[in-house]
Amino acid sequence: MNDEKPIRVQRVELIDKQGRTRAVFGAENGVPYMAHYDGKGRILSWLTFLVDGTPDVRVLNGPEPEPAVTEQATTERI
């Protein structure tokens, strides 16, 4: 018998012991994404998938605004 039930949420925020956001998993406009944060609220890396399934990976340096989902895919090796 399978008693497992899915957990359904729009956004999951992982925090450290000090309550700072370290990662966010979510979906915006139906598109899933994952963002990795430093301890100061800045995004360090971003992963999402475009409508056609192409990955959009970004590695950011310094304080940058949160990236928007784009029509053009870019990939970088981490």
The pLDDT value recorded for residue 73 is 47
The pLDDT value recorded for residue 37 is 94
The total domain count for the chain is: 1
Tell me if 47 sits within 8 A of 32, measured CB to CB: no
DSSP string, the chain: ---------SEEEEE-TTS-EEEEEEEETTEEEEEEE-TTS-EEEEEEE-TTS-EEEEE--SS-PPPPP-SS------
Pairing of strands 11-15, 31-37: unpaired
Q: What is the pTM of this model?
A: 0.64
Instruction: Report mean pLDDT in 10-residue bins for the chain, 78 residues.
Output: 83 94 90 91 90 88 54 47
Domain ranges, residue 28: 1-78
The pLDDT value recorded for residue 45 is 94
The pLDDT value recorded for residue 8 is 87
The pLDDT value recorded for residue 65 is 53
